[in-house]
Amino acid sequence: MGIVRHRSTVETPRDRAFAYVNDHRHVPDWMFGVDRFDPVTDVTYGLGATFDIEMRIGPKALSSTVEVTEFVENEIVRLEPVKGFAAGTVWRFADVDGGTDVDVEFTYDLPGGIAGRALGAVIEPAVGHAVRQTDSALRSRLEAL
């Protein structure tokens, strides 16, 4: 299992940062590689909300379905994989002087064997770049709120 953690401080109140990150309509605007983030349930906010994701990492297109399995308003959102590419995220938000600490943890599982090694060769070098691009895009959008 691959795990990538990143923490950033944005000059935006916590409730605004949380609301923006948690609004599925905005995700393709700031999350690197995500082309689609579409609800598949009537619930689109909070526990049980489920989304189909289509993302491109390097030359490889990946799809996944994730569900919100942990949710505390203005504090935490956990998305766990349900099917497809096994990638999940946990977003944590905390007040700091002048803004909000946004702490994210990305996890992913690669299949075993040759297919897993090939996918890992594409994904793993791109992860650091993806995190930096996501942080930059999200920071600029949050600070513009």
pLDDT at 85 over 90: no
* Full set of structural domains in the chain with CATH: 2-143 (3.30.530.20)
Nearest to 19 by CA among 107, 97, 98, 91: 91
**pLDDT over 70 for what percent of the chain?**
83
Looking at residue 67, its pLDDT comes to 97
Instruction: Say which residue, 95 or 120, is predicted with more confidence.
Output: 95
Q: What is the pLDDT of residues 10-32, one digit of tens each?
A: 999 999 999 999 999 999 999 98
Across 50-80, b (16+ Cβ under 10 Å) vs e yields bbbbbbebbeeebebebbbeebeebeebbbe
pLDDT at 114 over 70: no
Q: 99 pLDDT band (50/70/90 cuts)?
A: very high
Q: What is the pLDDT of residues 33-47, one digit of tens each?
A: 899 999 999 999 999
Looking at residue 83, its pLDDT comes to 94
